[in-house]
Structure 1
Amino acid sequence: MSEQHTYRVIVRGTWDALTDEARQRLLGEASEHGMLSMRFTEDGSLSYEPSPLKHFSWRYVVVSDAADGEEMAAALAEDRAETALKGLGYGFRDLKSTVTDLDTMKVNRKSASRR
């Protein structure tokens, strides 16, 4: 069995060709998808600003084989975002991802002398 890594992935995109119904739903639910809702989860966390209703981001936690690397984590998260957006009936374009491998991330801790 291959080593598994945990990745945090932010998938960003642009709303595109939203129907009037989709636009009204997004505007009506905007308070549920603001700054306070931003969390990394397996199912993803959607966030966007209602004014102007232009860009969005999904935050995902992806666990995959370390050998597949960050590119695979990005592809998996983008696929999840695309599936979710299509399922909700939202038009979108230009998906791009930023990936952080939590298992290789350096944590700088303050030394006792720097406190």
Structure 2
Amino acid sequence: MSRGIRVTVRGAFDSLTPAQTATLRAEAADHDFLNTAYTPDGYLAYDVTRPFFTFRYLLDAPEDEALDVTATRGELLACEWLDSHGYAYKNVTATAIDPAEVPLGARGRKNL
């Protein structure tokens, strides 16, 4: 049995060329932070005024897979995407959360 894990990968673009910057600017509306979602293919969000990016993945993981292993898988997916598009990057980190383990807040408990 598997579970859906949310993986967030953060980093910064490094040494973008003028052509890469122009491409990112042209596609910025498709990568807005206000419309983020966790998806199996990963959602890339960035702000062209700063060099930072965030990928959000919803990855299937076996019940016995540790969250840090799933986070590493997400990080590798993000780096593969960046490499395949020719973007240099730095300071990449990844975190993973199992939504089933997130405690409910007061509002959530009230609605049970």
TM-score by length of 2: 0.87
Contact 2:3 2:61 in 1 (8 A): yes
- Give the distance between the partners of 1:79 and 1:111, measured in 2 at CA: 39
Matched, 1:88 2:85: yes
Matches within 5 A, 1:38-77: 38-52=36-50, 54-77=51-74
How far apart in 2 are the matches of 1:111 and 1:4?
29
**Off by >4 Å, runs of 4+ in structure 1:** none
CA–CA distance in structure 2, aligned partners of residues 37 and 44 of structure 1: 13
Unaligned stretches of 5+ in structure 1? none
Shift of residue 69, structure 1, vs aligned partner: 1.2
Alpha-carbon distance, 1:99 to partner: 1.3
Rounded Cα–Cα distance in structure 1 between residues aligned with 2:39 and 2:100: 17
Secondary structure in 1 aligned to 2:101?
coil
Structure with the greater alpha carbon radius of gyration: 1
| 1: CA distance, partners of 2:33 / 2:10 | 15
Contact kept, 8 Å, 1:49 with 1:56, in 2: the verdict is: yes
Corresponding residue number in structure 2 for 1:10: 8
Cα distance in 2 between the residues matched to 1:94 and 1:19: 19
Equivalences, count: 109
Question: Could you tell me the percent identity over the aligned residues?
Answer: 27
Listed as ranges, the gaps of 5+ residues in structure 2 are: none
